[in-house]
Structure 1
């Protein structure tokens, strides 16, 4: 038997029965589902219709209201009853309207169910007392996500009623399904639900019956929390002597009840957090974590209290979803989302979020790409989050070997299965300890290089994470990305290649985890100078995310920005302009906190770079001045982004003939980079060489020699293989030394430049022309001064 098919058929059958009888056939025909499933549902519907006579012949007599119970058309205070809307466990709700002609308003009017008014006197007294509690509870709260109480009173016969705002909406789950919300949109909506629950908690009120049917979402997209019928005010509820609350299973919904509620133990706001976790699980996975239908109370208690639910991405197979939506959900339910829901649903109340607000805050952190509390609050984890938010890696590149290992540990924290998190954590800790020991000269016997440390870490992965390509791919991704940012391109090539192969095996070639690795590979290709491959890589990532409907993921904007910046680097300004405009046109996030304050400013800086490249120098200057001024206000202590904007602004000033201003601004940019990176770094080499060239132009020859020598020697330390920057740095040093008359040193520097140039394939055109020109100039100057230079004797 196909269990998943059976579950989906029954779910669709329940939905059909929820429709008006006359509209069921048309409603079913309009739904998207396989024909075989539709036929199964229709057969169940036909059978239900054929048995309707039997089903309606119940042994329970219809409710007969007492004579004093209000009827449709009656007035209660200033309101008239129009029609019955629904009946729950203890109350019945009517649609009403303001009937005193003061103003026109539809309301919801709730009364005790008539059948309970005919019960024993003590039960009736308790029920009316609970109803009055609900009225008192609602009167204490005023929040846009909690249904407001407008009025209340008692009928002439002493029956209490309360008048609430009428929420013309549908349940939380129906709203998400009807509007086809993706996972980020569902999370944002759910944060508003948490806000409503937090309002209750702020007044020391535990709802105790949170479920999707008690949350209606209006056409404006705002959820309203309803039905505080079994809620309790904590400060008014002492614990009984036996330590148990008398909240029976009939007075709650077991499928959403917390373990302590099912066991009738003391309740706190943490119990509502558990129910929120169950609702969030259902919203994202499409099914509830537990199916309790047909179970005896003791069996239901065992399932809720002792059974761990399957991870949401696995339960998607049982959900009533189209194939496209199932793929999209699977890509968007990330390990962090799994961990947030698992923390909210923890069996131990003390291990859950402390409040609905903490749960909402963690969701907001996830949506913003920040560390979530569902993970240990460690430096390792926060570092990994930082690297993922800042794909260019300029700041992360200054972190030493410990950061590489930290990023490795961070990747492992992204374990796909929430219930295996403790085991994964132990593996990570052991792995990190072993690798750290291997780089400790006191433990290893000698200090090892960065490359050796990465080699050792990488070699341990297959053994430590055998059979877990989902985890090992993340380890190799972290190592590879760190190597890209350190310009260890051979190591990056190896690690990212392993990461890509293993992620494809674990998740598929077009999954979000694999797309993240492909984006890193595109960056590697850019560093390697393989421009066509870099462009194709970013374009494929963008197209892949569009196919998944994942344009709301931050990676989408990152890939567009990196592609646009690469076009700028290779001076294809028209293409850069087109791509960066696409990035700028992306809709802002619903939650402004998910947008980095520097993002809009950096877009202005990119526009300035495009204008410079297209020759619109005055517009470029205006935009650079705007971007620089705003960044200096935002980050007065400096940042890699501000340093880049200042450097590009300085190049524009150079082209405008403002050479002294350009030189001073470039000096500030380099000083800022040195403060940030605290040592050698590839992002210092080219700017320092450029500043040396400008010093030559300003006849600051001694400064030029010092700067060029600094760039040349740094380039040999940070680059593992020959590249343009190294050859150019030695050429610049030779030029500066020629200007000071140190012809012998100039000759040696030019020879170093020639050796580096000879290793480059293809040879860069600028150096192919400038090296012979400088040799001729140097030899002419040396000859005129009567100096012997070895390079000129050839």
Structure 2
């Protein structure tokens, strides 16, 4: 017997069983299989159909069933088979009862699926071994949330069976839906599921097939964990029959499987934590994070291992919910809930919860109103993700944040300087004029750049202001803030930490200048990816100002606003909204307080973006209109900040179904960016390409083609290295030409997208799917088939 072929046949058979019965043959025909393997799988499916007809209680000819398979009415030890309940990939489950009159009890009796008894002897032995493993696993556990094993044995012909407590319940998702549980109630119920899984983990058992159908909830509201048929005891080593490693998608349910599981890597309890995360996502959002139906194995692996799920709040529109349920659910999916699910579902096993117990504990912390342990990825990590994905609506908010931070920081320092003694001000002014007017003595009097001047000032300040730490601290504060805005973070850290040390020594920890330096350090820590330290610094600063009754000081407004912007940069809309509500209760920023004239309009835009994020679309719309009106009054010619506000408002109108208005807003934003960057800029390319896509959606083909062509040409000019934005722009041009029946032109643009994409590392997830999908469409046309993109 060729064991390798037998392995393939069994694996593909079990995967076919996962498809709908009426689609199994069609699905199998679409797989890349050896004809011999396919034919044998089809024969097994037919045998299974015949032998499985008893599940519908139809008549089955005796010759269609293995002779040794038990039948309804027969006894297995003390237990009588009453009727079949369900069939899985490996076994069938009967309703049974105690038949020896000792006591009356209904039970679930599990046996090997009949068709498997028709398999070759080696595989029959393997399947029977699986049953024995499951019996061993269940015997180890005793927990109210795990279905208990009551008995077990083998028939006279050697077929193993398990007798378990009968759970008269419904799958977890069905229970939550029929009982209309809100999010907190779903979370509380899910904690009990985690408790059951933790019992398995405590015995070093990985379930490997956690899904709602394997968790039944009884009328009493207690969940029971079922089906340890493919579970594995960690201390055991697999015993392959041919010396090779054999794992397949059959030994799991792909939609709930962890990345390491679909990659056939070694599994730990962390794999079950991932599956719990997927279930929790489904319970809360109403839909699974990924739909894998109809995908080839390689495609399913890519989705599970590489694609980040959308936040649950964004998926609510895809769920089958009433408008009232959707609004309620949106309000209850807080940032903490999003973070808990994201941590459980992290692609990297080491970054998930360490156990099901840790996951349950964090959920309970949330339900009790205590801080959760789940934290978002660091700012540096997330900003890197933003850049790679180049989702320009989000990037726009981030860039606006940088502008507000930098301008407000320097302006506040200038306002502070104006309040110092005249002699001190004169010394500082003279020093700055000297530095800023310096030239390079080694390069024929070349004027120094601003960056070089800042570096020069840093080197001279200690010498010039020896004995005056109060003054040198103020200069270092300004230099450090400037360096932060230039992304010179190491230099900024040097200056700001020195400024804080001098301020503490000369002025004390509660002096306003010392607190301004602390605020600057918080901003620096944020951009260094040290978000927790940044938040701690901001909160300490705010408490100190509140204790002194200085909530009206501009530094209080700046720190509170920056704290909100930090949460906004993490897409933690709920916390950002809480902070911005406090900001709105304060007096508006003014130029007298050191703010730029447009800072209030920029704040309003961020308030609107946050309201959009928490799902309050009406409030978001009102704030966007207020922000844009203020921008237009202050800068009627337009500005990059106004362009960002228009862009984000466009996204809101698009979500509200006002596509023409959204298109107009996006268009205004793009034209304003073009005026701000007349020679082209990265901040123009992606919005313009996105506008082209929307033009096609609104059946404006001429506008779409012009915009896509311009974006692609600009991308070629402005990017000096391979970037996502360039590949995206070329892809949009290719897609537009394809829609307009220009296969040769589409292939040419597609080749440019492919060339840039090939140089990106890591490859961006969206284009990794979009480029091959478009190529598959474009290259079927004879006019494109010979082009490089199709070779």
TM band (smaller chain): 0.3 to 0.5
Question: Which structure has the larger Rg over C-alpha atoms?
Answer: 1
Q: TM-score, normalised by structure 1?
A: 0.46
Q: TM-score, normalised by structure 2?
A: 0.46
